[in-house]
Amino acid sequence: MEIKALACELPVHRKLPFSRLSHADIAREAVKQGIVASISNATVWRWLSADAIKPWLHRSWIFPRDPCFKEKATCVLDLYHRMWAGEPLRDDEYVICADEKTSIQARRRPHPGKAPGAGKTRLVEFEYQRGGALAYLAAWDVHRAKVFGRCEQTTGIDAYHRLVNQVMQQELYRSAHRVLWITDNGSSHRGDASVQRLSGWYPKAVQVHTPIHASWLNQIEIYFSVVQRKVLTPNEFSDLSAIETALLAFESRYEEYARPFEWKFTKEDLERVLSKLSPSGFPPEQAAA
């Protein structure tokens, strides 16, 4: 029990000059602290494995810092279930998730890759020359599983405007009663100014922001992860036009079998997560503010 407790402590609390503890570090410290007279690294490993304690691993996370985190997140989750302001969406109302995937490089390999074979994995040349970078902007219709994408030299308000035009000038969106656009707080669509700007472009369009540092609530990130795995990894593109051709061709292919994402994170899940952080879901200093 004491050795497991030792494994769960941060090294700095014991004034150890480590960022993390290994089996050997724990074994030596246990002897030094008089917990045991002697113990092997293998025994420490076996004890910790029984409780799945792995002090040599770490996972990054970010604490919710948006004072309206719950309200904004709940709004997004409601839209995924076709609810808006407590009312069901009409049949001619649509939910769009949009964002940008920036700095996609064209990596020109000095030697062509080799296909996999019996007992051999695919080979990709390690070295490459940079052939420039572009941005991929995409919009995902949450309930129709339809994707709209475009490549731009850079991101920004003008590039985002062109993506909005690409969607809103097509049926069914052009004649829709309302189109709700879910975005993060990137510079192309940040703050109240972007809300007013979007409604100025298209009065039927409504900007809905995810909470700050909560892009994981935006379903377009799921699509981007698919693109990263199936199109951009490994990166073997001769130039930027090759990237653009591949991305746009993938959109058409993906829509042949795409289905709406099965979104399982609910408002109840959100409540449970926030309740673990503090009574109000935020650090004491933010809760007081």
Distance CA 269, CA 276 (A): 11
| Three-state DSSP state, 42 | helix
> Is the model's pLDDT at 289 over the cut of 60?
no
pTM recorded for the entire structure: 0.84
Q: 220: which 2 tokens?
A: 């377009």
Confidence check: pLDDT of 285 > 60 = no
Asked if 38 contacts 31 with a C-beta cutoff of 8 angstroms, the reply is yes
Rounded CA separation 106/90 (Å): 43
- The answer to whether residue 55 is domain-embedded is no
> 111-145 pLDDT, tens per residue?
988 999 999 999 999 999 999 999 999 999 999 99
Q: Rounded mean pLDDT of 192-217?
A: 95
Average pLDDT, the chain: 92
Q: Are residues 21 and 163 in the same domain?
A: no
**The CATH number of the domain where 237 resides is what?**
3.30.420.10
What's residue 281's pLDDT? 47
Helix (H, G, I), strand (E, B) or coil at 77: helix
Residues 24 and 153 grouped into a single domain: no
Q: Do 212 and 101 share a structural domain? A: yes
For residue 279, name the pLDDT band (cuts at 50, 70, 90): low
pLDDT of residue 58: 87
State pLDDT tens for residues 60-116: 888 888 889 999 999 999 999 999 999 999 999 999 999 999 999 999 999 988 999
Query: 170 with 249, same domain?
Result: yes
Mean pLDDT of 257-271: 93
Structural domain contains residue 263: no
Whether 142 and 35 map to the same domain: the answer is: no
Cα pseudo-dihedral 253, 257, 260, 261, rounded to 10: -80
Say what the pLDDT of residue 59 is: 87
All residues at 6 or more sequence positions from 264 whose CB lies less than 8 Å from its CB, including other chains: none
Give a yes or no: residue 62 inside a domain.
no
6: in domain: yes
- Contact, 115 vs 108, CB < 8 A? no
pLDDT reading at 37 higher than 90 = yes
Q: How many percent of the chain have pLDDT more than 90? A: 83
Query: What local confidence, expressed as pLDDT, does residue 284 receive?
Result: 46
Please indicate, yes or no, whether residues 44 and 76 belong to a single structural domain of this protein.
no
Side chain identity, residue 21 = L
Sign of the Cα torsion 12, 14, 17, 23 reads negative
pLDDT band at 283 (very low <50, low <70, confident <90, very high): low
When comparing pLDDT for 289 and 22, which is higher? 22
Residue 158 neighbours by CB under 8 Å, 6+ apart? none
And the tokens for 95?
Answer: 């939910």
Determine the residue type at 105: Q
- Give the domain range for residue 6: 2-50
> In Å, how far are 74, 172, 183, 201, 214 from 198, measured between CA atoms?
22, 18, 12, 5, 21
